[in-house]
């Protein structure tokens, strides 16, 4: 959860590469604004700050040089509003599901398609057989955010489900083991690929978590749970 301090403003100088600073803020996570002047600013930078015991780790997406006369302050900005609206959208989606009795739309992912994982479209069905279907993380998934989608997949031997970073590195991938499905990372950790060695009917729960690193670089962590639907008892 974001922290706020009313009317907080301090002088600050930063180099382009600097990712740490002393800030006299209570411990917490903040989205702050840097400007080149307190009274006549001509340029600004929005950054995230994780503060603990007066030491701040800065997450900077568009780093600039800030010299004498520059200030940093806590105020409402576009990044904070985006966080608020994102939370409101998630709440609206939950309310809609509750009002609709919790029913979910099932979306189809045809063989050869590349679909984007989406919190508003959380349930997918695919039957690529021995082909390939790709599920890509959203290119605009913000740092410190997570989404989860469920995919029911029917695969033949050689069939593949690819989970792509969409231009972002996958720095960690946790996969629940399955006897008939192997997992491997693609070149430069651009994607995770699940390959069936035999016919398999599975339910995949794909969780994608975005983390923001120095210079505002976003990297992804994946976790995939695999439930073997073929092992379930079938009643007729």
For residue 88, pLDDT beyond 60: yes
- Whole-structure pTM over 0.85, yes or no? no
Using a pLDDT cut of 70, give the percent of the chain over it. 91
Question: pLDDT tens, 27-80?
Answer: 988 999 999 999 999 999 999 888 999 999 998 888 999 999 999 999 988 878
Q: Where are the beta strands (DSSP E) in 63-180?
A: 71-73, 107-108, 114-116, 123-129, 132-136, 146-155, 160-164, 170-175
- The owner of tokens 């508003």 is 120
For residue 100, pLDDT beyond 60: no
Average model confidence (pLDDT) across the chain: 88
Residue pair 30/47 in contact (Cβ under 8 Å)? The answer is no
Q: What is the spatial distance between Cα 72 and Cα 56, in angstroms, rounded to a whole number?
A: 13
C-alpha R_g of the chain: 22
Residues 137/141/143/148 CA torsion (nearest 10 deg): -60
Q: What is the spatial distance between Cα 169 and Cα 118, in angstroms, rounded to a whole number?
A: 19
| pLDDT higher at 209 or 230 | 209
Name the phi and psi angles at 24, rounded to 5.
-85, 60
Q: How do the residues of the chain divide into helix, strand and coil, expressed in percent and rounded to 5? A: 15, 50, 40
DSSP 197: S
């Amino acid at each position: 959860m974001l922290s706020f301090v009313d009317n907080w403003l301090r002088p600050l100088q930063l180099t382009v590469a600097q990712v740490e600073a002393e800030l006299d803020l209570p411990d917490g996570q903040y989205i702050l604004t840097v400007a080149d002047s307190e009274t006549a600013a001509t340029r600004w930078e929005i950054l995230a700050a994780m503060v603990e015991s007066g030491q701040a780790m800065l997450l900077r997406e568009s780093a600039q040089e800030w010299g004498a006369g520059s200030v940093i302050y806590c105020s409402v900005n576009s990044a904070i509003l985006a966080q608020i609206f994102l939370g409101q959208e998630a709440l609206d989606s939950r309310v809609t599901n509750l009002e609709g009795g919790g029913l979910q739309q099932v979306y189809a992912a045809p063989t050869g398609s590349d679909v984007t994982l989406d919190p508003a479209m959380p349930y997918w069905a695919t039957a690529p057989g021995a082909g390939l279907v790709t599920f890509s993380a959203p290119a605009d998934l913000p740092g410190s955010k997570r989404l989860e989608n469920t995919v029911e997949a029917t695969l033949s031997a050689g069939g593949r489900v690819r989970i792509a970073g969409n231009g972002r590195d996958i720095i960690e991938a946790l996969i629940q083991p399955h006897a008939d499905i192997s997992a491997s990372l693609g070149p430069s950790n651009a994607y995770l690929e699940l390959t069936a060695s035999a016919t398999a009917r599975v339910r995949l729960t794909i969780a994608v978590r975005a983390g923001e690193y120095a210079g505002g670089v976003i990297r992804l962590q994946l976790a995939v749970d695999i439930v073997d639907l073929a092992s379930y008892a079938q009643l007729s």
